[in-house]
Amino acid sequence: MTIKSQNITAVAHRVSADERALVNGHKGGVLWFTGLSGSGKTTLAFELEQRLFARGYQVYVLDGDNVRHGLNSDLGFSPEDRAENIRRIGEVAALFGEAGSIVISAFISPYRDDRKLARSAAHEGFHEVYLSADLAACEARDPKGLYKKAHAGEIADFTGVSAPYEEPENADLEIDTGTLGVEESIAILTDYIDTVFGVPKD
């Protein structure tokens, strides 16, 4: 990407990340879900958001279709547009995280390089969570009937069918959502969040 802005100087915030964490009761950061269509990103993201919110957390889900309606409505599904889609989301997620929220992003994000870029935007507050249900499991579920359409040639560039999915090599957390149930997956996620976003009590 060409950087077009010049004469730009960053201004320091007067509220530190530690101060925000103290007030919120947890650190801010990004839980970056990645996995095939039907692997459970949306299901787990919104379930987790509701439960964390009930515990008083600052938490917000960024989900594929929602973002494509607004911020990224000018983008399609070519490799270039997918990369730009993820780049913008990575920057937005990083901003939310810096503001103190736990952001759960629920995008297929099939390319390793794009996920790497998202990680570099949010630095150490970034946690890649691989929902590793395999293609067979996702096709069997096909909650939105998209695999059926993709196989019928009605959707071009469909991840896992006619577009690649590059599996994470070093995910911070992997959950086999092909064999585990929703409750078991949520329990793993909740433990993980307590560990990485928790604030020491004294």
- Active-site annotation, residues: 109
Sole window of 14-22, 32-40, 83-91, 165-173 interacting with ligand ADP (rule: CB under 6 A): 32-40
Interaction of residue 132 with ligand ADP, rule CB under 6 A: no
How many Cβ atoms from other residues are within 10 Å of residue 58's Cβ? Answer: 18
Dihedral of CA 41/195/166/63: which sign?
positive
Distance of alpha carbon 155 from alpha carbon 139, whole angstroms = 15
How big is the CA angle at 95 (ends 90 and 97), to the nearest 5 degrees? 90
> Is residue 104 a contact partner of residue 45, using CB atoms and an 8 Å limit?
yes
Interaction of residue 58 with ligand ADP, rule CB under 6 A: no
Site string for Mg ion, 172-201 (x = CB under 5 A): ------------------------------
> Is residue 133 a contact partner of residue 177, using CB atoms and an 8 Å limit?
yes
Residues contacting residue 123 through CB under 8 Å, at least 6 positions apart? 94
Interaction of residue 42 with Mg ion, rule CB under 5 A: yes
Sole window of 113-121, 148-156, 174-182, 193-201 interacting with ligand ADP (rule: CB under 6 A): 174-182
CB 34 to ligand ADP: min, Å: 9
Interaction of residue 42 with ligand ADP, rule CB under 6 A: yes
Per DSSP, the three-state class of 47 is helix
Query: Contacting ligand ADP (CB under 6 A), which of 88, 141, 149, 151?
Result: 141
Structure tokens at 106: 């629920």
CB 183 to ligand ADP: min, Å: 8
Rule CB under 5 A: which residues touch Mg ion? 41-42
Q: Residues interacting with ligand ADP, by CB under 6 A?
A: 35, 37-44, 106, 141, 143, 177, 180-182, 185
